[in-house]
Amino acid sequence: MTATEQALLTESVHDTLREMVFSGELEPGAPLSVPALAARLAVSRTPVREAVQQLIYEGIAVHVRNAGARVATIDATSVRAVFEVREVLDGLAAYQATLAISRETLSRLEKMVQVQRELLDQPPDRRRDARLDLEFHTVIREAAGNVPLVEALARLDGQSHLFRSDMWTSPLGRTLAVTEHERILHAIEAGDADGARVAACAHVAGLLVRIGRT
């Protein structure tokens, strides 16, 4: 396997593990055994080991002495702090994205939100719904063109998702999340940067309320 192929495999394993954490398939405190995960994902141990190290760097996992890596846990005070910072930064990302977004990227967002709305008629799928939510926010953040902002939000997003898996099984939570995405999108479509910032901030604040960490 070439170095490029190895890097792509590690990235794929990392993305899979993130989805498993974000969906609740790997709950806070769950062990991240490299041999067990390698067998589960049918890959060698090296990409799993590297992916777990990346999760630790992102704050999604922690290394426990004499116990190995585990999915991170976080107390209520820290949850609030993470969401408060993410609220401000996601608002900034939406503001900057509105000023810089291309027609092609806007079309991607429109299709994403349409899919999310249509899926409300189907049974919840925590892994799928968490992935679609993350993709929506990632596209907006990348459209902002602010690399430090994207990197900071990626870390915060990982930590905040540790407490959001239950939201994807709640019909009301799913509906509210999609409605809030639509409000962000409509503001961006209208070129209303301030409106997009306000809508994005309100969305993150709403998430904090819905996970019961008020």
Instruction: Provide the 10 A C-beta neighbour count for residue 54.
Output: 17
Q: Would residue 192 be called left, alpha or beta, if left means φ above 0 and alpha means ψ between -120 and 50 degrees?
A: beta
Q: How confident is the model at residue 214 (pLDDT cuts 50, 70, 90)?
A: very low
Could you tell me the domains of the chain? 3-71 (1.10.10.10), 76-210 (1.20.120.530)
End-to-end alpha-carbon separation of the chain, Å? 49
| 20 compared with 189, residue with greater pLDDT | 189
Q: How far is Cα 30 from Cα 108, in angstroms, rounded to an integer?
A: 35
Residue-wise pLDDT tens digits, 75-119: 778 888 989 999 999 999 999 999 999 999 999 999 999 999 999
Are 9 and 47 in contact, with CB atoms under 8 Å apart? yes
Chain segment 21-77, per-residue pLDDT in tens: 877 788 888 999 999 999 999 999 999 999 999 999 888 899 988 889 999 887 778
Kindly state the tokens that stand for 55: 């999760």
